[in-house]
Structure 1
Amino acid sequence: MDASGIWLGDLARAVAAVGRSDPETVRAVARLLGVRAAPADASVRPLEAALPDPPPRPPSQVPESESDAQAPAPTAPGASAPTVVSPAAGPGPRLLTPLVRASRPPVVWTAPSLRTASPTGPPPLRRPLLAPRSASAIVQAAVSRWEPDGDVDIPRAVDRLARGLPLNTLPRRPAPTLRFGVQVLVDRGFGMQPFYRDQDELVARIRRTVGQDTTEVLYFEDVPLNGAGPADRWAWQPYAPPAPGTRVLVLTDLGLGGPPHSRQGGRTEWERFFGGLTRADCAPVVFLPYPRHRWPTWATDRVRMVPWDRRTTVGWVRMHNG
């Protein structure tokens, strides 16, 4: 590099841009760039002559194509031999000798690699959405209704007798009960396809908790107003609410998942459905397999909802589904 900060590479690029590499052109470009001039008696060599010569290679390492190109071609009798121009003597760039790259040594990893999965071994165990140790208690807390079926309310009975009022019936304390039964509505729409097995497991647990005779299971797609039934879709009928007092559990995503389609239920259909259940005195509860920050606000203000997740606790369900 020159003292002015100009590299020989800058001089080479400038000469290449000019398109001429004769000594006068190189000397003129060097003066314009401020490169220190050579002594007066020294001739400016072409730039490729300033590059170091590659180390000589033994004849055994010269490729056949290169040796054939360097060897003079045979001439016919009486013809003059062609002149062979060496690349180093011309004005063009000097041919570089490719470096011989040796193979890299193997990398020694300090951490052990993961165990290779066996294609013939058993598949990994699937974890249900609800924790197995608390799933039955969560179902009972979501399905049960608080009715005056508990112990006798002694203070109320004494107060009534003290005022001289008759006791036609004994006042009792409110307690959770499952005697009204439950109707389970299972959404088989596109958005719930990843949760089909969880739906079946939860339905079986509800039947074991509430009772086989007091549990009714109906299937629908997207929204129950499109039709529901206990068997295949061809046998579905228009939905009608159950008997008054029956708890209705809906296993759905409220249209949050799956690709959009023409039959997908929206806010209007779901609000109309929940309004019909309220008028029939059937309290609905929605099991939603999505986190609470994704719940639609219109649904949380209209219906009780349970996060269908392993972090759901019995205390949370009792607090929000009293």
Structure 2
Amino acid sequence: MTVIDDHAAGKASGTWWGDLIRVLDAVRPGGSVAATVDDVAELLGLTVIRGDTPTPEPPEPRPSDPSAPPVAESGPAEDLSVPPLPPELSGRQAARNDRERTGREHNEEEVVGGALRRQWREEPPPMPWTEADKLGTATVDRLRRALPHTPLLRDGVLAGIVGALVARPVADGEIDVERLVEVLAHGRPVAVLPRRVRHSLRFGAHLLLDRGEAMFPFRRDQDDLEHAVGAVVGRTSRTTARFVTSPFEAGKEALPQRGRPVLVLSGFGIGGAHADPADWARYARRVRSRGSRLVGLVPFPEHRFPGWLRRTMPVVTWDRSTTVGAVHRAVARRPG
């Protein structure tokens, strides 16, 4: 049996038997346990005593006390020799166990992480912004702020001016008593009752829009006026044709229905575009042959109107200073 003499060297040097056990657990190779213990103990400065230690005699029992609990019989003496360390407690085995456990945990993490990655890649959760419409491409026109627009005709008089431009004079109003008396005074028979003339919108309106380069700054005003005419006479009673140079470019659409007034929105060559006086004179004759009235609306001052235009049709200045009375006077003026 091998025992350690703690009192011989352990307490004096500060080395204890626990140090010996830790060293043996860390470095003990295979082989004789006794030899290993001797070598390690010698390095630690411990004294090893070999031989059997006599088992101490148990103390003589004292007279038993009737009230004291019975004393259990002692078993065989405990073997104090240092047994071989179990494999699971050795340093190498513990390190190996740690590596195996770490490997298993790492593999489990890889498996779980791989499943998560596959799930994220193959079945992504729906995002709310994927359902939104795509934004348009950022162009100069989109980024440029729209300039303020001031219409050429004031809103307060727009409907009145439109009515004066496209209304047709019709003798279907109240009975004209003065004319009736005059006819009777002269002793003439009354074949038809004379009636007062009034302006009617029931014939609708036909618009001829100049889309040439010179009229490009007024294109929005043309569109606004087109909508305003439709609001006054009704959209179904409004027809529209467009041209660039000559009114006959619109083909059959250039001519109105019989009796429908025609309103031409053009510069008639004032803004630098070409205008053929012969074409406009021929167009005016075609319109009047259908029983329709022709009026021109020009976005330039009156002093710039060419003479041939005044001889072809009545012309109205298209400006914010235009009034309903000015339109009536211009329309009533005969060309020439």
Q: Tell me what 2:260 maps to.
A: 246
Q: Tell me what 1:99 maps to.
A: none
Contact 1:224 1:239 survives alignment (8 Å) = no
Q: How does 1:208-223 map to 2 (within 5 A)?
A: 208-223=231-246
Q: Tell me what 1:298 maps to.
A: 308
Deviations 1:125-172 (A, max 9, x none): 310011111111111111112221221112233344556655454321
TM-score normalised by L of structure 1:
0.54
- CA distance in structure 1 between the aligned counterparts of 2:206 and 2:172, rounded to whole angstroms: 22
- CA distance in structure 1 between the aligned counterparts of 2:237 and 2:146, rounded to whole angstroms: 36
- CA distance in structure 2 between the aligned counterparts of 1:168 and 1:271, rounded to whole angstroms: 37
Q: How does 1:1-322 map to 2 (within 5 A)?
A: 123=146, 125-161=148-184, 167-225=190-248, 227-228=249-250, 237-239=251-253, 241-258=255-272, 264-322=274-332
Q: Which amino acid aligns with 1:279?
A: S
Pairwise CA RMSD: 2.3
Q: Which amino acid aligns with 2:316?
A: V
User: What is the DSSP-based 3-state SS (H/G/I as helix, E as strand, rest coil) of the residue aligned with 2:312?
Assistant: coil
- CA distance in structure 2 between the aligned counterparts of 1:302 and 1:167, rounded to whole angstroms: 37
- CA distance in structure 2 between the aligned counterparts of 1:209 and 1:238, rounded to whole angstroms: 25
Figure out how many residues of one structure are paired with residues of the other and give that number.
Answer: 190
- CA distance in structure 1 between the aligned counterparts of 2:295 and 2:204, rounded to whole angstroms: 13
**Higher mean C-alpha displacement, 290-299 vs 166-175:** 166-175
Q: Which amino acid aligns with 1:257?
A: G
Contact 1:248 1:285 survives alignment (8 Å) = yes
In the TM superposition, residue 295 of structure 1 has moved relative to its aligned partner by 0.9
Q: Which amino acid aligns with 1:265?
A: A
**Higher mean C-alpha displacement, 135-144 vs 200-209:** 135-144
Deviations 1:265-294 (A, max 9, x none): 322222222222233332211111111111
**Higher helix proportion, which one?**
2
- CA distance in structure 2 between the aligned counterparts of 1:296 and 1:163, rounded to whole angstroms: 46
Deviations 1:71-117 (A, max 9, x none): xxxxxxxxxxxxxxxxxxxxxxxxxxxxxxxxxxxxxxxxxxxxxxx
- CA distance in structure 1 between the aligned counterparts of 2:146 and 2:259, rounded to whole angstroms: 43
Contact 2:204 2:238 survives alignment (8 Å) = yes
- CA distance in structure 2 between the aligned counterparts of 1:163 and 1:273, rounded to whole angstroms: 43
**Higher mean C-alpha displacement, 169-178 vs 132-141:** 169-178
- CA distance in structure 1 between the aligned counterparts of 2:265 and 2:197, rounded to whole angstroms: 28
- Higher radius of gyration, 1 or 2: 2
Q: Which amino acid aligns with 1:186?
A: L
- CA distance in structure 2 between the aligned counterparts of 1:256 and 1:124, rounded to whole angstroms: 25
In the TM superposition, residue 245 of structure 1 has moved relative to its aligned partner by 2.2
